[in-house]
Structure 1
Amino acid sequence: MDDDTETYILLLLSDSNLPTGSFVASSGLESYVKHGFASSSSSAADATVEFVRNSLSSYARSALPFVSDAHRAVMEYSSHQEMDGKEGVGTDKSLDDILKALTDLDGLYQAMTLNHVSRRASMSQGVALLTLYSKGFSRPPTLSAFSGAESRDHESRMQILLDQFKLKVRREEVFGHLPICWGALTAALGLNLERAQYLHLFLHARSILSASVRLNDLGPYGAQQILLHAVRPLVATEATRCRNLRTGLLDNSVEGFDEAALGPANTWPLGEILAGRHDLQHSRIFNS
């Protein structure tokens, strides 16, 4: 895929109007503010930046390994299908293999997400991404003239894969967590891994700032200033630091895989505790 096409996909995925459910989640910010932790900072802007820094650091370390492995698995499946074609037993087995890989990743993320509130938000946004692909990014027959046969074949394979995974979510055979669905979605759209990782972290940070505006801690202009001047280096740092992390599930052999150094981990226990206490608030705006 050429750079212009990838850039266009980035613009589509960064659109705040996409129905992905991100605006009902604060990633623990509401609980953080209600429990008084923001009051220790000199200003609301400083408190928000500090929360974004801690949340982004922990989320990058815990979620990016799953984004990377899901993306890698779908890209390998796509390459295999392009080489071997769509017919025959090998294709069915390959589809089963990729679904099993995504299911295993999803199960591990469920086990490593330490509180029910974060799990609930992740599952809600994950299935929204799968729906977005089938209803928003799939090509209707009326627009088939705008693509070649090879492109239509690829889109058809990706449609079948994501529809099958979504069906497993509906049957409650898998959870459908956000990082796994994001990795699968961006791979299906042809976005390279580095850009998929960076955009995922950017959207996480942007959703926190959006929540801060809705909580009336920041104004919309102040949030944009923070997004431009403070968030950009934070996202770049975490994307670089965590870009090579993996879960270890997709490796042929786990020998030699340093889980402590290269695997997913939660690095902000306070954030997990506060997120888990979200439902205990007397009144709340967000679901997480």
Structure 2
Amino acid sequence: MVKLTFDDGATDGMHEQLGSELLQWRQWQLLDSVLPTGGFAHSYGLEAAIQTTFVTNPIDLKSYIVQVLENTGSLLLPFVYCACKSPDIVAWSKLDRLLEATLTNEVSRKASASQGSALLRVAASVYLEVPSLKEMRDKFLGSGSVYFHHAPIFGLICGFLGFDSSTTQRMYMFMAMRDVISAATRLNLVGPLGASVLQHQLALVAEEMMKKWMDRPVDEACQVAPMLDVVQGCHQYLFSRLFCS
């Protein structure tokens, strides 16, 4: 029998490097579309925007995505930032309840809670080295005292895993852009190649939005593109629909 052994003679610098590299693997996993968090079941109101002719062509789509990024930055990044900066379960629960009161339509509230709950379920199962995730899920699931909204859950998980707040906020903006462009592809508004080109073109816009709204406290959270909120609220009235929101 061959016994595998590991050399414990690594220097502190080597351990730090391994920790940094492992953090990159975690980052890629969180951003991977394969991660079963339910994000691709939502279109950020795009499906309703198309059916109400708010978006009718690729030019409208690009403008719509910019507004989605603006709203994501202005409204949700403060919750991501605060949860990541101080990863504490008590503070997170307060942020979660505050976001529940802040979101202004039923569709976006349900979508946020659904994605957040799915993300916590995955994180509690995958990141066993962070037992707090499973403990908080076991404690709060079904209690009715929290709503598991996606933005504070994402920030909390990233904080527990050791991501800095800037990286966490940039990741959140990327996911918003990725998901709405994916929805546009499945709604046949743009092809797969056109979607890739569009994502590349909007990367700089997303970065500018992130820097504009990053590191803000939750009392500065606001919506700067209210029409998107109105359109998304119409989703539940669509006769036929592909997405949950």
Q: Could you state the TM-score of these two structures normalised by the residue count of structure 1?
A: 0.76
Q: What stretches of structure 1 of length at least 5 have no aligned partner?
A: 75-97, 139-154, 248-258
Q: What's 1:83 paired with?
A: none
Q: What's 2:91 paired with?
A: 101
Deviation sequence 1:167-191 (CA, Å, 0-9, x none): 3142211000000100011111111
Are 1:99 and 1:165, in contact at CA under 8 Å, matched by a contact in 2? no
Q: What's 2:37 paired with?
A: 20
Q: What's 2:13 paired with?
A: none
Are 2:123 and 2:133, in contact at CA under 8 Å, matched by a contact in 1? no
Cα separation, 1, equivalents of 2:187 and 2:78: 31
Q: Amino acid of the residue matched to residue 129 of structure 1? A: L
Q: Could you state the TM-score of these two structures normalised by the residue count of structure 2?
A: 0.89
User: 1:234 and 2:191 equivalent?
Assistant: no
Deviation sequence 1:68-110 (CA, Å, 0-9, x none): 1111221xxxxxxxxxxxxxxxxxxxxxxx3321111011101
Q: What's 1:31 paired with?
A: 48
User: 1:179 and 2:156 equivalent?
Assistant: no
Cα separation, 1, equivalents of 2:132 and 2:27: 23
Deviation sequence 1:135-187 (CA, Å, 0-9, x none): 1232xxxxxxxxxxxxxxxx3xx323553245314221100000010001111
Are 1:9 and 1:191, in contact at CA under 8 Å, matched by a contact in 2? no
Cα separation, 1, equivalents of 2:25 and 2:229: 35
Are 2:182 and 2:195, in contact at CA under 8 Å, matched by a contact in 1? yes
Q: Percent identity?
A: 27
User: 1:52 and 2:65 equivalent?
Assistant: yes
Q: Amino acid of the residue matched to residue 35 of structure 1? A: T
Tell me how far 1:7 sits from its aligned partner. 2.2
Of the candidates 87, 100, 107, which is equivalent to residue 110 of structure 1?
A: 100
Q: What stretches of structure 2 of length at least 5 have no aligned partner?
A: 1-15
CA RMSD of aligned residues (A): 1.5
Q: Amino acid of the residue matched to residue 37 of structure 1? A: F
Cα separation, 2, equivalents of 1:166 and 1:206: 31
Structure 1 counterpart SS, 2:179: helix
Structure 2 counterpart SS, 1:191: coil
Q: Amino acid of the residue matched to residue 58 of structure 2? A: A
Tell me how far 1:269 sits from its aligned partner. 1.0
Q: Runs of 4 or more off by more than 3 Å in structure 1?
A: none
Cα separation, 1, equivalents of 2:133 and 2:25: 23
Of the candidates 229, 234, 245, which is equivalent to residue 272 of structure 1?
A: 229
Cα separation, 2, equivalents of 1:241 and 1:159: 34
Cα separation, 2, equivalents of 1:28 and 1:166: 32
Q: What is the 5 A alignment of 1:206-221?
A: 206-221=178-193
Tell me how far 1:244 sits from its aligned partner. 1.9
Structure-2 change in CA distance of 1:119 and 1:166 (3 Å): farther
Cα separation, 2, equivalents of 1:225 and 1:30: 21
Cα separation, 1, equivalents of 2:133 and 2:125: 14
Structure-2 change in CA distance of 1:48 and 1:285 (3 Å): same
Are 2:124 and 2:137, in contact at CA under 8 Å, matched by a contact in 1? no
Are 1:186 and 1:196, in contact at CA under 8 Å, matched by a contact in 2? yes
